Structure 1
Amino acid sequence: MVSFRNFFTAALAFSVPISAAITPAEVVTNIKSITQKSQALQSPAQSISVVNGPLVLIGQGPFPKIILGFSDIVTTATTAIAQMQGMPREPAGASTDAVFEAFREFVRVHQALLNILIGKAGLFQTVPFIGQPVSAVLRQIEQVVDTIAFMLIDTFEARAADLQKEAMSLTGTLDICIAKYQGITDGITKRNLRFARGENAAA
């Protein structure tokens, strides 16, 4: 579910000086920009294989591009969050509906990307250096998603329930993806400890 545990992110965004609150149409544009960035990462994610995945160790293969792309999404989303500071609450109507539709499309596209990554995680149960950087950048994504969702729900109250539902769905998929990649690191660490103690690594 949407945790809203990252109000610190929002607080940082709120500290950025804003000359004027943006319009709902500009919110839609910002969300669509993030959606396009997420869409562009689906192809690299699909190309992940047991052969090219470990190339991340030398800065090659699809993972560096994916991690960099996620970092770009975080930067773009953080800017969008700052720009939304000071927006007045929007009444029900076409503008509010357009923001919801843009957010729903973002959720759909981003979940598709995350599901690809979830499917690929199983390839790397013995490659510890893949899990940590992926799970770390996914946590940053989760932070900005939580903050954007909170701000949208607060500003576009007429579609608050719908926005909440979409945000909860996306956060659930993010949590699964983070757990998959964190599990790579945790699982290997546990196996290494068993080896060090002379225990059966498969136990």
Structure 2
Amino acid sequence: MKFFSTFLAAAFVALLLNVAGTMAQTSDQVISAIQSFITSSSNLDAEVTPLNAVTFPTMGFIIAEGFNNITSAVNTFNAEFSADTPPYPDDAAVAVVDVFTAFVEVHQDLLNVVIGKHTLAAMFGFVAPIAAALRSLEGAVVTFAFALLSLVPTESGPFTAQLDALAATFANATMVYGGVTSVI
């Protein structure tokens, strides 16, 4: 059953991103992709938040699995970026930064919940897979963010402020789970 749910989630993400893939550089497609990342992060947060000492032994795997699913989605989208895409006009850049800000807020909430579950993860042997998935996710998000930064030069200040806020939360999470520093 775990295989089926993992396969189904991965297939849905792949399908969603293949639909967006052909014009991924447009601001509308970027906004749509970020909104899908928000939904994935929010859904994972809703699954992780109620985990406790009773449910963690059988459900703790959803953290690493969820991070890996989000990473796959972001990596798939990253492959669609083109260096030839011209920067977005100011109104599009503002809209992209607004949705990126929402992503940062939701993702920080998720990371903070996962940080709070570290003791449970350590008790039940989930620290290493979560740490590996967390580092992969951070790498994918960094690649995405830097590709996106070049498309929103008129909003680079607000965008960079959001990226810095996310970097601080990633740094905290990676330190808690792996004792390593953040890559951002």
TM-score exceeds 0.5: yes
1:1-203 matches, within 5 Å, as: 22-53=25-56, 55=57, 60-61=58-59, 63-85=60-82, 86-92=84-90, 94-127=91-124, 129-182=125-178
Paired residue secondary structure (2:117): helix
- Cα-to-partner distance string for 1:5-63 (whole Å, 9 max, x where unaligned): xxxxxxxxxxxxx866631111100111111000001122112212332x2xxxx31x2
CA deviation after TM superposition for structure 1 residue 79, in Å = 1.6
- Report the residue type matching 2:130 in the other structure: V
Distance 1:32 1:102 in 2: 7
Q: How many residues are matched?
A: 158
8 Å contact from structure 2 (residues 35, 99) kept in 1: yes
- Cα-to-partner distance string for 1:95-124 (whole Å, 9 max, x where unaligned): 111100110000000000111111121345
Paired residue secondary structure (2:52): coil
Distance 1:105 1:154 in 2: 19
Give structure 2 stretches of 5+ with no counterpart: 1-20, 180-184
Distance 1:145 1:77 in 2: 7
Distance 1:123 1:69 in 2: 17
Distance 1:82 1:141 in 2: 15
TM-score between the two structures when normalised by the length of structure 1:
0.72
- Report the residue type matching 1:72 in the other structure: N
8 Å contact from structure 2 (residues 40, 70) kept in 1: yes
Distance 1:143 1:124 in 2: 22
CA deviation after TM superposition for structure 1 residue 158, in Å = 0.5
Q: Pick the structure with greater CA Rg.
A: 1
Distance 1:21 1:37 in 2: 18
TM-score between the two structures when normalised by the length of structure 2:
0.79
- Report the residue type matching 1:119 in the other structure: G
* CA RMSD, Structure 1 to Structure 2 (Å): 1.8
Give structure 1 stretches of 5+ with no counterpart: 1-17, 184-203
- Report the residue type matching 1:106 in the other structure: F
Paired residue secondary structure (1:50): coil
